[in-house]
Structure 1
Amino acid sequence: AVYGFLQYFFDAVSTFEPSHVVCCWDMGKGTFRTEKYDGYKSNRIEAPLELIPQFDLVKDVVAELGVPNIGLAGYEADDCIGTLASLYSDNSEVYILTGDHDMLQLIDENVKVVIMKKGRSNYKVYDLAELLEEKGLTPRQVIDLKGFMGDTSDNYPGVKGIGEKTALKLLTEYGTVEGVIENLHLLPKGVRTKIEADLDMLHLSRELAEIRCDVPVVCELTEALWQLQRETAARKFQELEFGSLMHLIAEVQDERGIVQIELGDLG
């Protein structure tokens, strides 16, 4: 797992040429979301025993590269990324690298979301225009969409009987969850009945879907300057018998790009 992580990490660095890099992590299952809804992510299978010790090991490797590891108990990596992206975007261009489409809600004028697709060097970059063109949504509507349709991977239901197609239609016509609720009397009876029956779950699902951007985490940009610690990285690679990856260290250029990139959810 660590070997694969490093391949994807260096591929992303090579592709986007960041000036600063931060890596965010989940810090255990228990979060404020599981406190609000005990079914949240309860459908996830346990990680294979062989994988568990690699979580701490990969953080060690990241630290040896010279990259800050950020995480906070009670919150998900997404919340840490959202908080730092919001902080950095005041003065910088931020790229969030992830495989999670929920992160599209974090896009703004200075924040782009890079979705990792299958295979290395296969990325889809979303900004406000691309999100609207491809999905017909604003960032805020990404959250409302999950409120209506729920999320099977995170195990919260949304409004029973409302799928993506209907949810998109409602948001296109009325803009927000509140806009839909204010116009319930205009909806077809079947849709109206479903929403009225699940109003509490609609609001809860939207709350679970929203990434927090006010998490008490701090990482100054000076701490995140991407300047590969070649000697410590090489020693760590040798310790792990990653000889075939040594070329990745040699290939990192000294020239710096002009962007920041947040690395999260690489697993």
Structure 2
Amino acid sequence: MRGVTGRLMLLDTASLYFRAYFGVPDSVKAPDGTPVNAVRGLLDFIDRLVKDHRPARLVACMDADWRPAWRVELIPSYKAHRVAEEHAVGPDQEEVPDTLAPQVPVIEDVLDALGIARVGVAGYEADDVIGTFTARADGPVDIVTGDRDLYQLVDDGRGVRVLYPLKGVGTLQVTDEAWLRERYGVAGRGYADLALLRGDPSDGLPGVAGIGEKTAAKLLAEFGDLAGIMAAVDDPKAALTPAQRRRLEEARPYLAVAPKVVRVADDVPLPPVDTALPRAPRDPVGLEELAVRWGLGGSLQRLLVTLDSQMLT
């Protein structure tokens, strides 16, 4: 990574523009009548995040592949229910609202013209891009996402926290290890083990039958991690109930592959990128053309003022 040092903010961009789309009325339109509620809402989100948290560096992380083949090969049900079988124009296309999809290229063009780093890598989800930037970071990291899967990256020792939007981005759950232990009984990497044990219907992860969140947390507290739990299954003296032992044994094939699916990658081949938050647009002429065509109005102007006046910390 090239750029200045200081706090790095990583945006789970799709998570945020989905929230913007559903949070801003679709009556917000371009001069030609095209809805731009997700575009303007995301710009407002970035403006608020920069004002409130003053990152020195910012990366908009993208889903180049929202359902990577290597994850599907391990667990075929992974995100299978999200595939738009009847409306897809290609294989494994995620179904999104009709008026949102056309706004995504506009979002990308505006971010590029602003000079905000935008990174997606073929074969990987935004989560994996975030995981790799986090692993390589040389300072504190704020991850802004509505996806709890990224709780696994929280690390107080390295200054990594998740800012989880509760209402817009004005009200954020600042997620650190203490909060995770209070809420889930685990922290950091332990959250990934908790997630794969309990399962997640929204991601097509079956989990272990009969083991919910509370039981998973108790098992992790008792045995440390997934490897410790499976060692306990093989130890007749370990403090597992017969039902737990049977269910974990039956789930062994799933548990052998689930960690690679659930844990975000930290070795994505990231392109060289300048992560420094821009003070001025990279392409002012192009940005002005986008602003006029799409009627970005006050949302873009406010962000430009904020970027120009930023005090990096």
TM-score range, shorter-chain basis? 0.7 to 0.9
> Which of structure 1's runs of 4+ aligned residues deviate more than 3 A?
230-235
Structure 1 residues 103-252: aligned runs within 5 Å: 103-108=150-155, 109-110=157-158, 111-184=160-233, 185=236, 186-220=239-273, 223-230=274-281, 231=284, 233-245=287-299, 246-252=301-307
> TM-score, normalization: structure 2?
0.76
SS of the residue aligned with 1:203?
Answer: helix
Match of 2:71 in 1: 33
Q: Equivalents in 1 of 2:178, 2:271: separation in Å? A: 30
Structure 1 vs Structure 2 CA RMSD: 1.9
CA 1:132–1:96: 2 relative to 1, 3 Å: same
Match of 1:84 among 118, 133, 143: 133
Q: Equivalents in 1 of 2:124, 2:73: separation in Å? A: 11
Return 5+ residue gaps in structure 2 as ranges. Answer: 1-37, 85-94
Q: Equivalents in 2 of 1:251, 1:229: separation in Å? A: 10
User: Is the deviation greater in 147-156 or in 197-206?
Assistant: 197-206
Q: Equivalents in 2 of 1:208, 1:248: separation in Å? A: 37
Q: Give the partner amino acid of 1:26.
A: D
Identify which of structures 1 and 2 has the higher relative contact order when contacts are C-alpha pairs closer than 8 Å and 6+ apart.
1
Instruction: Answer whether contact 1:25 1:76 (CA < 8 A) is retained.
Output: yes
CA 1:181–1:251: 2 relative to 1, 3 Å: closer
Per-residue CA distance 1:125-172 (angstroms, 9 max, x = gap):
122333333332121111111221111111010112211111111111
SS of the residue aligned with 2:201?
Answer: coil
User: Is the deviation greater in 205-214 or in 44-53?
Assistant: 44-53
SS of the residue aligned with 1:69?
Answer: strand
> TM-score, normalization: structure 1?
0.88
Q: Give the partner amino acid of 2:146.
A: G
SS of the residue aligned with 2:123?
Answer: coil
Return 5+ residue gaps in structure 1 as ranges. Answer: 259-267
Per-residue CA distance 1:55-93 (angstroms, 9 max, x = gap):
2221111111211110111110000111011111xx211
Equivalent pairs, count: 254
Q: Alpha-carbon deviation of 1:7? A: 1.4
Identity between Structure 1 and Structure 2 (%)? 33
